[in-house]
Amino acid sequence: MQKRNPFDFLVEEISKSFKIENLDKISAHPKGMALFTTIIKKLDEFRELKNLFKRDFLPAVSRSIIASKRELHNSKYKKILLEHMSKDAANEIFNETVRLGYIALYHKYESFVTLVIKAYDNFYEEEFTKKESIKAFAKREFKIEKWPLLGISIDRIRWICNCVKHTDAFPIAPHDPAFIDHPKDKKLVLSKDELMQDMDIVYSFCQGLMQYVSSVGAYKMLTEIASDPDEKTQEVLNTAKKQIEEVASLLTKI
């Protein structure tokens, strides 16, 4: 079976999300095309990152650990070395590589948020009558305290990264709920499977966040067009606002 081209999959997936039936129409709209290609590029970076760790980095580290253990076993100084080396010393290299994967993942997330939200602001710039960013509008209209929205998993990954960067992977107080019982004198240990799963979670969250930001931008435009809405128009606006709030609620639970 022929492997599906990942860019074909992304383009079709994003087109479906935004109900785009004709890509030629986007091509004729410079800002629309800039937004579309920014989304494709940033989402593809998550796929590339996952492949690098799954197929290259982590298998290479595993092979290196096996070779190192074999060389230690064959060393004429094995007895001396083993007396002063932790049994987990070699495995710590693997653990460190997984933790670096979390750093890279969160960096990609931050980059996605910054560039994609900026692209949405540029896209809607000519449509907005009030020079107010989507971020400022969302905070004012939807009473959002944290921007962008943070899901439970995103916040956990951010906490892991802070531990790795600032305390050499020892847990920082207050502990994330997922690590509430983790000993304070032991480094965080995360598996390859956990990293792969979290990469999928961040990818899905970014897709949801992208649609949320798009909806907020469209809602802002509608409120400006209908600055003095009649009863029927106000009902439409209220329904749209409620749907956006429901999406936000779902995102914070991811």
Domain positions in the chain = 6-252
- pLDDT higher than 90, residue 50: yes
Minimum mean pLDDT range among 16-30, 86-100, 180-194, 236-250: 16-30
pTM: 0.86
| DSSP labels, 28-94 | T-HHHHHHHHHHHHHHHHHHHHHHIIIIIIHHHHHHHHHHHHHHHHH-TTHHHHHHHS-TTHHHHHH
CA dihedral 69, 99, 198, 11 (to 10 degrees): -100
pLDDT grade, residue 4 (50/70/90)?
low
- pLDDT tens across 80-91, in order? 877 777 667 778
d(CA 182, CA 251): 26
Distance CA 221, CA 215 (A): 10
Residue 34: per-residue pLDDT: 84
User: Which of 65-79, 89-103, 120-134, 225-239 is predicted most confidently?
Assistant: 89-103
Report the alpha-carbon angle 53-55-60, nearest 5. 80
CA distance 225 to 65: 63
